[in-house]
Amino acid sequence: QVQLVESGGGLVQAGGSLRLSCAASGRTFSSYGMGWFRQAPGKEREFVAAISLTGGSTYHADSVKGRFTISRDNAKNTVYLQMNGLKPEDTAVYYCAARLDPRYADYAGYDYWGQGTQVTVSS
């Protein structure tokens, strides 16, 4: 079992930055690939970024590439999402998730999910 708790969301103006954190419980954090997804009102949940077990490989959706960066600290059981150059279309609830499955961009491949943190970007 892995429990995930996100933090760091909030209201920010367009062009601003936020850093989301996701703290994981348990001693097996380093066994899981981690990902961030987001869901805006009336839209499907979409992939944002993912990172491998050791952090050696990262993947970012085209919509956030160059603006967002995923990272992890296995010693702190935490995964991060640094978001720069935020746009109003980034407004959504952001979820972190843990997976054993190699399908990093498919939400069906994730076993555990956090409750989400709201990010709102004003224009």
Q: What is the three-class DSSP state of 81? A: strand
Strand order from edge to edge, sheet including 78-83: 4-7, 18-24, 78-83, 68-73
Give residue-wise pLDDT tens across range 39-67.
Answer: 999 999 999 999 999 999 999 999 999 99
pLDDT band at 102 (very low <50, low <70, confident <90, very high): confident
Give me the chain's average pLDDT, please. Answer: 96
Q: What is the dihedral of CA 34, 84, 116, 70, to 10 degrees?
A: 10
Q: What is the dihedral of CA 100, 46, 49, 4, to 10 degrees?
A: -60
**Tell me, what's the pLDDT at 1?**
84
Please state, as a whole number, how many other Cβ atoms lie within 10 Å of the Cβ of residue 63: 14
Read off the amino acid at residue 110: Y
